[in-house]
Structure 1
């Protein structure tokens, strides 16, 4: 594990640098927001396009893989939802706690780190995890909150979801990359160099933005945050491991990447959604902070177990 920890430390060191810069006031909230926007719309999109353009749909999509991830994540979602209701919490908050416990930082942290640590072949499984998270579980969150507030999920809600997915730069870049890859043609060299140069900015900028965004996240509801962090960092990869290795017999390497992706800390966009719907934002914020700090050790442990197996 020590060898893996030493490999992951530079990634978390950049996160720490971003946190320190924001904490000292060198990077304010507005600067962090613009850096995040740059990564989301430009650098990360270029990186995703580059990965997808070198893969075919058959290389990315695997039904056993999707079923294993959907089944394990869905089951944990339901357990977290039920546990929250048993505590006497409102259904809307239960939805967000469940979503927090299963939604990892796959885009900003998972793709660059796992591709670097596990090799370029890890790109396809991570892209599939990212797609399932965005298309399925983000949609479930929106439909659940809308249904609880209005008593039904209308066609307008489904339309908004569809438009949102079509406008998501990560989904668009993956789709365009696959379409281009299907042509079998190479990109014009200046375009390839442009995409490579822009995509190379994704990893350091994304990690720095993660760290900067952690500043100001309070320590409220630490007990709940610790539980949700345990669910995300320990239970989620454990559920995925059982489903991938023993139930659906996923390819061992792809299963290992899926397990490592499931071990990632809570994604920052969950807080954005919590603020948007005004449902438990402080609870989610604290879970992001706690899970990110603890993941320095837990992610290294999971990756070392995956490599050993």
Structure 2
């Protein structure tokens, strides 16, 4: 397979997602959707559609098939070290009051929506279980880190984690898989219909929620965060993973999860807990639009080197 073929295969993974994102932008501009639709759609994805997808993905496979211990442990350690690294360099880029927000938006990726979509497009439906278990563990670390970075209060940390619908869905799916209880066909089909809403609705909402007006004020800080999120951190982590012996589908999942654009949840938390929500919105905008390029190049390199 030559370089052109690798490029074509990688673009097949990323371009469909970009086109749906662009459709969301167009729908917003022609007023086919509005802010209320975006807010409602995001809640529907986060609280219903995506949890259904994750539950079915984990519950439908054996526990041993779903868990790649090496991948999960490496991902957790890599995420934690990424947080510490960005926290350390942040004062050289932003003012001290923005340190927590900058760290948050530079490491927190949109794994639950774009990450899973990339994994499925690249490796097929069979990869969902591995990616979902990875997502479950790293999501816990994401939320713990976010609360620690953005707030001085720790009292609500455990409650927020327990109430997270993604974590709850994956834990329930894991228990269901462990007990080996078959899902009734009616339940399986009904949850499947809801799960199918996840990708198109989420991507349309992300595209429709992109904001351009605030990019001028903090564009240097935003570009620094995007560079860390899309290029520097994924590159360092993947190189370390290769040296550690991770390869094949596990390496592909690790790269695609680490290379995802900044999650929309980062804006919600930053906006609610700090006065610097605009910086988060800028980084989400830029990283979402640029990620197809960085992900495509990364897939081309990994495929060309026969690592995935």
1:28-75 Cα offsets, whole Å, 9 max, x none, are 111100011111111111111110112333333344323322332333
Which sections of structure 2, spanning at least 5 residues, go unmatched?
Answer: 1-6
Whether the aligned pair in 2 keeps the contact of 1:129 and 1:261 (CA below 8 Å) is no
* 2:185 counterpart (168, 184, 189): 189
After TM superposition, list the pairs within 5 Å mapping 1:231-270 onto structure 2.
231-247=228-244, 249-270=245-266
| Aligned equivalent of 1:108 | 113
Quick one: distance in 1 between partners of 2:31 and 2:192? 32
Whether the aligned pair in 2 keeps the contact of 1:55 and 1:124 (CA below 8 Å) is yes
Change (3 A) 1:244 1:301: same
Whether the aligned pair in 1 keeps the contact of 2:52 and 2:169 (CA below 8 Å) is yes
* 1:73 counterpart (68, 79, 85): 79
- Aligned-partner SS, 2:151: helix
* 1:21 counterpart (10, 17, 27): 27
Query: What is the deviation of 1:242?
Result: 2.5
Query: What is the deviation of 1:88?
Result: 6.1
Whether the aligned pair in 1 keeps the contact of 2:94 and 2:102 (CA below 8 Å) is no
Quick one: distance in 1 between partners of 2:51 and 2:65? 20
Change (3 A) 1:274 1:146: closer
Whether the aligned pair in 2 keeps the contact of 1:274 and 1:284 (CA below 8 Å) is yes
Quick one: distance in 2 between partners of 1:53 and 1:112? 19
Quick one: distance in 2 between partners of 1:177 and 1:63? 17
1:222-269 Cα offsets, whole Å, 9 max, x none, are 11111111111111211221332213x235321221111111111111
TM-score (norm 1): 0.89
Query: What is the deviation of 1:103?
Result: 0.9
After TM superposition, list the pairs within 5 Å mapping 1:125-274 onto structure 2.
125-147=130-152, 157-158=154-155, 160-215=156-211, 218-219=214-215, 220-247=217-244, 249-274=245-270
Whether the aligned pair in 1 keeps the contact of 2:105 and 2:225 (CA below 8 Å) is yes
Query: What is the deviation of 1:18?
Result: 0.9
Quick one: distance in 2 between partners of 1:55 and 1:244? 26
Whether the aligned pair in 2 keeps the contact of 1:19 and 1:215 (CA below 8 Å) is no
Change (3 A) 1:82 1:32: same
Q: Are residues 1:303 and 2:299 paired?
A: yes
1:160-211 Cα offsets, whole Å, 9 max, x none, are 2222111111111111111111222321111111111111111111111111
* 1:86 counterpart (88, 92, 116): 92
Q: Are residues 1:288 and 2:284 paired?
A: yes
